[in-house]
Amino acid sequence: MTVLVPLLVAAGIVPAIPQSGDCHPIDSESVLARDVAPLAPGFARLPEDFLIGYVEPTGAPKVFRGADLERIAKNRGVELQGLEDLCLERRTFVVPGPSIAEAMRKNIKNPAAKIEILFSTQQAVPTGEIVFPKSGIQLPAAPEVTWRGYVQSGTGARYPISARARITVPVHRVIAGADLVPGKPIEKEQIRVEESEDSPFEEGFIEAENEAIGLVAKGTIFKGSSIRGSQVAAPPDVARGDTVRVDVFAGNAHLTLEARAEASGMKGSTITVRNVATGKDFQAKVTGKGQVRVGGVTE
């Protein structure tokens, strides 16, 4: 084959591929009259958007024979003679790190974000708009992320690229200043707010003291830990072991007594309470802080 190709070129059966540097880059797979006009001025007499042909999207060079160009022009009523063969290729580039960081920043929406590109695709792709959609984010070890994106050409074709980056933004975190045990409301003296650099994609952390004070931990939160919203909850209106007031309704009769809650519950939930005097358990509906009800109509 290495011997056959030069023979075919010499015989004019296939066009010669110019050496690197002899091909003229264009920014689309579609070759238009305006792309050829700077190399063959006669094509300026054709409509500038007139389609001549196509080049490979990979950037591989393509030779347009002079005779073929003359025939194309003649079909449009333009007589051209002596045109040389032209080599055209799709312009490609290796997407630079700063351009990747700029595209990522559009989806972070925090001007204070710090973006360090650790690795990116080194394969050349056609020129176009660099896009890193938020849906392409993977979080193997935040704040370092693998982010998949693409370059979109003018024709709408997408060429995948990816990058690994370290991305941080200034954040506030509520920190446990002591071990927070389940069931006990969090007090101001038990927490503090710290500012640090962390991933913008780590969500769910409590950022202000007033968002944590009075809540109760669902499980032990150890000293020094950042507190997530999922780790805490509003305190129950009735906690197990509380002494509660029981309103008992039977027809027009209304009786009030004290009992001990055998379970915790929020307003509207039904819990077991124990009559301390008789030692008997019964079901009652929580109606408010430290209050339950038996019978009657509840809201």
Fold of 92-234: Type Iii Antifreeze Protein Isoform Hplc 12 (3.90.1210)
Domain locations in the chain as residue ranges: 4-90, 92-234, 243-294
Pick left, alpha or beta for residue 96 (phi over 0 → left; psi -120 to 50 → alpha; otherwise beta): beta
The CATH number of domain 243-294, selected from 1.10.240.10, 2.30.30.760, 1.10.1060.10, 2.40.50.140: 2.30.30.760
Q: CA separation (Å) from 213 to 120, 175, 194, 266, 283?
A: 44, 12, 16, 18, 31
State the burial class of residue 299 (Cβ atoms within 10 Å of its Cβ: 0-12, 13-18, 19+): exposed
* d(C-alpha 223, C-alpha 204), whole Å: 19
How many C-alpha atoms does 254 have within 13 Å on its Cβ side? Answer: 6
Provide the β-strand partners of residue 236. none
Query: In this structure, what is the dihedral angle of CA atoms 68, 74, 80, 83, given to the nearest 10 degrees?
Result: -10
* d(C-alpha 58, C-alpha 157), whole Å: 12
> pLDDT (tens digit, 0 to 9) for every residue of the chain, 299 residues total?
333 333 333 444 444 444 445 899 998 889 999 999 999 999 999 999 999 999 998 889 999 999 999 999 999 999 999 999 999 999 999 999 999 999 999 999 888 999 999 999 999 999 999 999 999 998 766 789 999 999 998 778 899 999 999 999 999 999 999 999 987 899 999 999 999 898 888 888 999 999 999 999 999 999 999 999 999 998 889 988 999 999 999 888 998 999 999 998 989 999 999 998 899 999 999 999 999 999 876 44
Predicted TM-score (pTM) of the model is: 0.64
